[in-house]
Structure 1
């Protein structure tokens, strides 16, 4: 497929316009978008995705629009292709004649593949934001807010036994496609009994000894296949199959074996102790090796996290300006810097950024201000120590720090006697430790409110971080600051809309790259929906009021 020089984008055919305007006398979102934004996309924006020679490709500007409409309405490729042929509002937006036959559904998949291959998925959202900026409804250095939600991977949840057996089954299927004759001569008849069907459909042993024997047998079968793949007569490409690489990873994590002689099947193979499902390199499914397990706030899932950032300026539509998709086990605090960098590179860095405590730390407060000129607003993480939980106890904030003198003064007026700069061995973060004289603390009448040790020792952030953290806490202690931060809750409505109408929480595809494409396309489609509502002067829906509460209104 090639993209050749195209004539100017066509206007809406007269017959299409006449029928559409007759059918939608009271207005239609797609007709309104075409009137206000035109075609939105242009072929030139995707010219680098296509070669210069070959069969002419279907217009990519139309495919980009169809992709967004598809995500807006939750349609499959087949349903989207049928809508192009059958729906008058789609034909109007795409400037198609009434008799236009459309395209084959495979064209949409091929277009998404080009976006992924050239890492061009962000163009779908970028062009919508450019159109919004041209309309004067999007500005930089305004106010934005960020929150995240989980995305379920498009794979079945597997327990440990199912994971091991299904991983081996997936490798056998992959090798069977590439080298059927070689695998036919290798596989014993009992392998077909164990791995012909999906493991979830098999009747696995229930009792402890039988189940353990089954797992060890699976481990021995996997090692037998891996050893054979390393042999001299192995088909060259079989060892490089992705499913075989996954098999090696999974077996290295879950099994060990003894290599003395040739033991019978299952002998010499041992199952490693459970290593947990934390931030390690644990594969959760052989069919999506990038999906990870996470437990958060009582919710457990296997998949990804998506972070949405939207504008919240008064008297302007709420538009999603950035999406960030990661494996589920990547904490929010690790992404706030990437979010700020992405917004800045797009020319959409906010002046004020509202986020919850998961995104806020002393380091992030300083970095956001110094690197990007962004005021990160949100609650700091809870302070540690028994003093924060006991009323009347002296907290770190009760101590006065004199940075020039490198001294700390306690609430009773005593000065620290030691001051040193250190680095945490685990994280590498710098901190300052100040200590007080044991002789002074021992006789101090306020000691029970200050420390239970021989003397008080304080761990402080470096000066810039300490002062930024103190300022953030003071801001939220004021009524004005708390009212400002209260606007962050609006992002939860956006996430709810994305989940209920756009399927944001369920991955349609497998892999991080394709899930990222889904989140970007969903954000762009959501923006189309909100721009159409804004142009139609449709106000935001008010918060629901129950009939009983309405009696007192």
Structure 2
């Protein structure tokens, strides 16, 4: 690839586009080329391509094709056909009428190169930088963030199916002759010659348990053959073999019986966490996508990822706005990652782009005491978000004294209870890896106290409470007192608008279901979808028309179509 400037729109194509859209709004690709010009220069992708060999298609224009593909929710084949057939796309890409385009597989190869060289964020960085130049985005102001679940592209498997399919996936990447020569397992061909989803699982729980153990024994037998000194060493390095090893380790144990024979046993959930299943964030859910994870949120249970979308926003009336709301960041994580683990990374990305907000509106799943303090001290951001209230038994039952009722003297390291009694000890410590402070009262003080039952539910004869360090405790108390007021609720109402952005992403780009396997390529999809949504919003802004978020239901659209 030799970086070259994009050619100007072909005059013949330009005249045809203008003639066909005379008196109408030009299509999105035409508006993007006219307003933004060469949006993704080839040189920005140079590190992903070599300078020798056969000439390939311009990576910058392939990036723009991928953005248009997301904007219309097209497959690779449909996008390649649009490059050949549509005048608006030819105009945006600078192609003439005789250009034959490219084979649809080029798009897959382009995505692979982009992911392998860590350039997933490049198109969003370039487009946001252009919008900053045009005065449509700037640092400070207000932004809001929300998340939604994303279903992976692979089939959902239960534990029995996962074990069987992991064995079959490992066999598929080896040579058939080698498997036949080294394995002599009864019923092997019948169990592993076809995909798991081509036949039904046994209805009996006993038979399903027997099948699960059989799959486990088959997997261990295959691994023993792979790691046999006589086997080829390259077999051990196959990703499918390593995935099988992990699946077996997570779902089975092997113990020796009285005769010294190895017995395969399934792992089960245990109260004490003995030989049970590993945590959900570590458990592989599919041999074909080792990044996807099972997760649950309220009534939703899914296998996939999470998408976090941040956008600029304003509470100014629509007539006074100088720019549309635009997506400034997208983050894709495993489905088991909580929002508190994502927020600092979002701020780092916004800081890298020079788009840190002054106020960040979030739901209660994102902030913590540490993040409230860190966001203000490190990034100068005020988190506008409801924080979790006191989780003590008294607070949950709305009875008795809560922790906020105790007065803290940080200078003299002493706490005074509502009855006027002072604590006897102040002990800094570490709990779950975080610094904490434990203070306690004496038995003679708490024992005869008339408010003891409303103060603590402990069976001990004295009260003991745990505090965060001073900055975190004061931040939490301030946030809890502020969010109780009506004025704060009115301000926080601005956050709800991000749900419309999530709805637009699902309706326009079908972000609910991942197109590709793996976390990296799924994130690439979300980044290009975000750029596509920004261009759609800009096009509506340029033409002075309201944004169509496609809230109309499928049934309503069908009724409108029938009526027409």
Taking structure 1 as the reference length, the TM-score comes to: 0.92
**Cα contact 1:278–1:329 (8 A) shared by 2:** no
Distance 1:78 1:543 in 2: 25
Residue 428 of structure 1 pairs with residue 433 of structure 2: yes
Q: CA deviation at 1:202?
A: 2.4
Alpha-carbon distance between aligned partners in 2 of 1:368 and 1:379, rounded to the nearest angstrom: 15
Offset at residue 284 of structure 1 (A): 0.9
> What residue is the counterpart of 1:114 in the other structure?
113
- Which residue does 2:561 correspond to in 1? none
Structure 2 equivalent of residue 139 of structure 1: 138
Q: Write the distance in 2 (CA, Å) between the matches of 1:524 and 1:292.
A: 26
Residue aligned with 2:344, SS: helix
**Aligned counterpart, 1:165:** 164
- Distance between the aligned counterparts of 1:124 and 1:149, measured in 2? 22
Equivalent pair of 1:147/1:492 in contact (CA under 8 Å): yes
Give yes or no for the alignment of 1:348 onto 2:345. Answer: no
1:406-447 CA-partner distances (Å, limit 9, x unpaired): 1222223332222221111xx211111222343333444444
Query: 1:463-490: per-residue Cα shift (whole Å, max 9, x none)?
Result: 0001111222233223332222111111
- Kindly indicate whether residue 180 of structure 2 is the aligned counterpart of residue 184 of structure 1: yes
User: 2 CA distance for matches of 1:531 and 1:381?
Assistant: 37
Deviates more, 1:200-209 or 1:497-506: 200-209
Alignment counterpart, residue 195 of structure 1, candidates 186, 192, 197: 192
Change (3 A) 1:42 1:391: closer
Stretch deviating more after TM superposition (161-170 or 305-314):
305-314
Q: Does 1:411 align with 2:409?
A: no
1:308 matched to 2:305: no
Question: 1:21 pairs with 18, 21, 31, which one?
Answer: 18
Mind listing any 5+ residue stretches in structure 1 that lack a counterpart?
546-553
Decide whether aligned partners of structure 1 residues 529 and 211 sit closer, same or farther in structure 2, where only a CA change above 3 A counts: same
Measure how far apart 1:22 and its partner are: 1.6
- Give SS of 1:144's match: strand
Match of 1:551 in 2: none
Corresponding position: 1:123 with 2:122 = yes
1:502 to 506, 509, 516: 509
In the TM superposition, what is the alpha-carbon distance from 1:259 to its structure 2 partner?
5.8
Distance 1:391 1:294, change over 3 A: closer
* Counterpart secondary structure, 2:408: strand
How do 1:310-459 and structure 2 match up within 5 A?
Answer: 310-313=311-314, 314=316, 315=321, 316-391=323-398, 393-424=400-431, 427-453=432-458, 454-459=461-466
Name 1:154's counterpart in structure 2. 153
Partners in 1 of 2:139 and 2:326 — Cα distance? Answer: 12
Q: CA deviation at 1:392?
A: 5.9
Q: Deviations over 1:20-52 (max 9, x none)?
A: 112122112222222211121111211222111
Distance 1:191 1:227, change over 3 A: same
Q: Whole-Å Cα distance in 2 between the matches of residues 395 and 111 of structure 1?
A: 58
Q: Give CA deviations for 1:43-97 in whole Å, capped at 9, x if unaligned.
A: 1211222111111121122101001000111111100000011111111211211
Q: Which residue does 1:287 correspond to in 2?
A: 288
TM-score by length of 2: 0.90
Q: Distance in 2 between matches of 1:510 and 1:45?
A: 25
Q: Does 1:54 align with 2:53?
A: yes
Superposed displacement of residue 261, structure 1 = 11
CA contact (8 A) 1:475 1:482 kept: no
Does the CA-based 8 Å contact 1:278-1:293 persist in structure 2?
no
Cα distance between partner residues in 2 of 1:482 and 1:493? 19
Give the corresponding residue for 1:271: 266
Match of 1:536 among 538, 543, 546: 543
Q: CA-to-partner distance for each residue in 1:188-223, whole Å, 9 max, x for gaps?
A: 473221111111212433324433332222222222
Check 1:411–1:33 CA distance in 2 against 1; reply closer, same or farther (3 A cut). Answer: same
Measure the CA separation in 2 of the matches of 1:532 and 1:46.
26
Q: Pick closer, same or farther for the CA change 1:268–1:9 going to 2, 3 Å.
A: closer
How far, CA to CA, are the matches of 2:551 and 2:328 in structure 1?
Answer: 27
Q: In 1, Cα distance between the equivalents of 2:277 and 2:242?
A: 22
Preserved CA contact (<8 Å) 1:277 1:293: no
Structure 2 residue 260 is matched with structure 1 residue 242: no
Give the alignment partner of residue 257 of structure 1, picking from 248, 254, 258: 254
Q: What is the CA–CA distance in structure 1 between the aligned matches of 2:441 and 2:235, rounded to whole Å?
A: 67
Q: Residue 434 and residue 65 in structure 1: after superposition, are their counterparts in 2 closer, same or farther (change >3 A)?
A: same
Q: Is the 2:255–2:264 Cα contact (8 Å) retained in structure 1?
A: yes
Deviation, structure 1 residue 276? 5.0
CA distance in 2, matches of 1:524, 1:5: 22
Task: Identify which of 466, 482, 485 aligns with 2:473.
Answer: 466
Q: Which stretch shows the higher mean deviation, 506-515 or 409-418?
A: 409-418
Instruction: Check 1:209–1:395 CA distance in 2 against 1; reply closer, same or farther (3 A cut).
Output: closer
> What CA distance in whole angstroms lies between the structure 2 residues aligned with 1:208 and 1:515?
36
From 506, 518, 529, give the equivalent of 1:522. 529
Question: Which secondary structure does the structure 2 equivalent of 1:284 belong to?
Answer: coil
Kept in 2, the 8 Å contact 1:29–1:533? The answer is no
The answer on whether the counterparts of 1:12 and 1:92 sit within 8 Å (CA) in structure 2 is yes
Match of 1:4 among 2, 5, 21: 2
Return the offset for 1:513: 0.9
**What's the CA shift string for 1:240-266, capped at 9, x where partnerless?**
1111111111112222334689999xx
Q: Do structure 1's residue 105 and structure 2's residue 110 form an aligned pair?
A: no
